[in-house]
Structures are given as C-alpha cells and as structure tokens.
Amino acid sequence: MSLLPTLSELVARARADLRVGLPVVLGEGAQGLIALAAETLTPARLSALRSLPGQPHVALTARRAETLRARAYDGDLARVILPPDVDAAWVRALADPALDLDAPMKGPLATAREGAVGLHRLALLLAKSAQLLPAMVTLETDDPAGVAATLMATCLTPEAAASDLALHHPLSPVAQARLPMEAAEQGRLHIFRPDNGGIEHYAIEIGRPDRDKPVLARLHSACFTGDVLGSLKCDCGPQLHAALGAMGQAGAGVLLYLNQEGRGIGLANKMRAYSLQDQGFDTVEANHRLGFEDDERDFRIGADLLRKMGFRAVRLMTNNPRKTAMMEAEGVAVTERVPLITGTNRHNAHYLSVKRDKSGHML
C-alpha cells in the first residue's frame, strides 16, 4: 500500500485538472504531449503554451472536423495546425458550434499528417470523459516527465491511461434507505459509487423482488430537463413516471437511475445540442456537430448494478435494442422486452421519429 496515486486516481485528477483549465501531460520516455481543454483555455494559458518550443495543434474528433471542413488525416480525429495570429476565442469557436452560423470559421484549416496521433486520441478521450467539448489544444514534447514536473501537471502513461478510460469501473453500494413514493409506497433508494471517484448512480427498488425470478426493470438515463422540469422536447419524464407506476402496480421492480445526462455528454453539452436543434439540426446531427457520437453512454453500468443487487434476469422496460443487447452481453438475461411508449406530444414527435429512424428505437 502506498499513499501515491494509482493510475485510476491520476486519470480522475487529470479530468479535474482539465475542467479547471490546467494542462495534463500524456506520454513516457521521449514522446509526450502537453494538452489543455479548448473549452477551458484562457488567453494567458494559450500564450504560455506558445512560449514553449514547438507547433501547437487543436485536436478535434472527425465528427467536428467534418463540419469545419478540416481534413482528418488520422481517421477518427484531425489535428488543426494552430495559426500564429489566432486567440483563445478562435480556439473556442473551433470547439464550440454555437458560433458556426453567426461567425463561420475562415478556412481553410490546415491539418497535420504525422506525429503523436495516439496521444492526441487519448487527449480527446479524456476531454469526453470530463464531459467537456471534445477539442484539445496540444503541444508535443520530448520530455514528458520533465515538463510535467515543471508544470506541476498530472502525467499519464498512454497505454495504461487508455485502458483505464475504456474500463468499466465497478460500483459499490454506499448507502440505502426506505423511500415511500407516490408511485409505490414500498420504495428503497440505493446509492452506488464507482471505484475511481466518478459519477454515482442510483437504484430504486420497489417492493421486495424475488431474486430467483426475472425482475421488472428499467434503465433510465438522467434527463434533468425531462425528469425535473417536465420538458416536452423528449419523453423521459413520462417514461420515468410510467415505469415507476408499473412497478408500483406490480408491487415489485427495480429502476436504475443512471447519471448519464444527455446520452452521456452531460447537461452543458446537451444544452449546446438543444441550441443546435433550434437551428434546425436533429438530435443525432447536433451531437455530431459538437464532436460526439450519437450515444456516448456505457450501459455496462446497468448490468453491474443489477448483478450487485442479486438479479440475474430481467423483464426490461425499453424500446432501445442496444439496452437489451448489452444486458445479454453482460450476462443478465432479458426474458422479455416490455415496450414503454408514452409522452408523445407535438414538440417531441420529430425527436421520436429520428430515434426510430436513425437510432433503431422500436417506437
């Protein structure tokens, strides 16, 4: 046992550093990268980066690069060569599509062909896992350990950090208590926490479901706008209440409330996506323009929680085939898919049709 941070703890620290605007150093030996999140880049930090030797780049996902018409020579990502005369606001505009229509980027954007592609890919993964816009300002270095020491920055070895980011971090129960609810008086709320200090998730157990039989279950992804504010732009609020209601009626069930707001991109990015939707893009296109995939959720969490609670089989309330497939892949049997169609209105009709046509939802 040591008081030194483990790799997972260093990754957690790196995430926090990026959110406050600090650089993170990726690399080992003589290959390294200093990386700052475009979203939290200040003018002072940009000029400090420029005072170091080398050519800074802005790494973007190929999704974002496509909108900006920047060539992605590296497949899934593009490295824009930072022009010498641009400021932090320019970098931000590269990352954030809010200004795409008002102040279109003056192109063409020159992109790099060679260099530390793997480290840039890792930098983008880190930005996503910090729920920041996937855009990173970078500078290659041949002395990552030395630079990290000088900058008091977190230094991550690439392979280990990449595998930690891809890992499902097991969840442990933290606390639970009785919670009578409108939909079901016999309720109990369980809180679970991952071993890397990441986001907590909840399970609402209704009644005392028999662990030897398939349980009526729902994987609900957090939607602040729908669940709390009663937004009409989606169907989340009515789905949440209908699922709890059905479990209350049946006298038994488990609803997992997974804090994967905005299909895993976070509430700030979801609001950026809504703003793009107001400009005419659909829910999938808006995610892409921000640089994200359609759905960035990790559904392994749901299977882990169910198993931890002693369930091995579910009657899953969903219209999303990815959820049933993931459950089966993770060893939780889905004995029945229970459709959950509710909450259609004139504001979400188009959204629901896009989910059916582009995301394969059975609506």
H or E segment and range at residue 175? strand 171-178
Instruction: Please choose, out of 66-74, 140-148, 159-167, 223-231, the segment that lies near Zn ion by the rule CB under 5 A.
Output: 223-231
Q: How far is the CB of 281 from Zn ion (least distance, A)?
A: 17
Residue 122, classified by CB atoms within 10 Å of its CB into exposed (0-12), middle (13-18) or buried (19+), is buried
Is-contact 118 74, C-beta < 8 A?
Answer: no
Residue 312 marked as a ligand binder: no
What are the structure tokens assigned to 60, written together? 């973007």
Active site residue 297: yes
Distance between CA atoms of 348 and 352, rounded to whole angstroms?
A: 6
Contacts of residue 203, defined as CB under 8 A and 6 or more positions apart, other chains included, come to: 189, 190, 192, 254, 255, 256, 257, 305, 309
Is-contact 226 351, C-beta < 8 A?
Answer: no
Total of residues contacting Zn ion (CB under 5 A): 4
Which of the 8 DSSP states describes residue 39? G
Is-contact 70 61, C-beta < 8 A?
Answer: no
Q: How far is the CB of 255 from ligand GTP (least distance, A)?
A: 11
With respect to Zn ion, which residue has the nearer C-beta, 209 or 262?
A: 262
C-alpha distance from residue 198 to each of 4, 11, 357 (Å): 19, 10, 33
Q: How far is the CB of 346 from ligand GTP (least distance, A)?
A: 16
What are the structure tokens assigned to 96, written together? 């954030």
With respect to ligand GTP, which residue has the nearer C-beta, 79 or 297?
A: 297
Q: How far is the CB of 32 from ligand GTP (least distance, A)?
A: 33
With respect to ligand GTP, which residue has the nearer C-beta, 38 or 236?
A: 236
Distance between CA atoms of 145 and 302, rounded to whole angstroms?
A: 38
Residue 239 marked as a ligand binder: yes
Instruction: Please choose, out of 120-128, 216-224, 307-315, 321-329, the segment that lies near Zn ion by the rule CB under 5 A.
Output: 216-224
Residue 153 marked as a ligand binder: no
In the set 79, 164, 297, 304, the catalytic residue is 297
Active site residue 295: yes
- Residue 184 touches which member of ligand GTP, Zn ion, none, C-beta under 5-8 Å by kind: none
Q: How far is the CB of 27 from Zn ion (least distance, A)?
A: 39
Residues 229-268 close enough to bind Zn ion by CB under 5 A:
234, 236
Interface residue with Zn ion among 158, 226, 262, 291 (CB under 5 A) is 226
Helix boundaries (H) for 102-195: 117-129, 144-151, 158-166
With respect to ligand GTP, which residue has the nearer C-beta, 9 or 295?
A: 295
Residue 263 marked as a ligand binder: yes
In the set 282, 294, 295, 298, the catalytic residue is 295
Helix boundaries (H) for the chain: 7-20, 43-50, 62-68, 88-95, 117-129, 144-151, 158-166, 236-250, 261-264, 267-278, 283-290, 300-308, 321-329, 349-359
With respect to ligand GTP, which residue has the nearer C-beta, 37 or 286?
A: 286
Residues lying near ligand GTP in the complex (CB under 6 A) are found at 221-223, 234, 236, 239, 260-263, 265, 270, 273, 283, 287, 318-320, 323, 355, 361
With respect to Zn ion, which residue has the nearer C-beta, 56 or 266?
A: 266
Q: How far is the CB of 6 from ligand GTP (least distance, A)?
A: 30
Residue 283 marked as a ligand binder: yes
Distance between CA atoms of 306 and 203, rounded to whole angstroms?
A: 9
What are the binding residues for Zn(2+)?
223, 234, 236
| Residues at the contact surface with Zn ion, assessed by CB under 5 A | 223, 226, 234, 236
What are the binding residues?
218-223, 234, 236, 239, 261-263, 283, 318, 323
What are the binding residues for GTP?
218-222, 239, 261-263, 283, 318, 323
Catalytic residue list: 295, 297
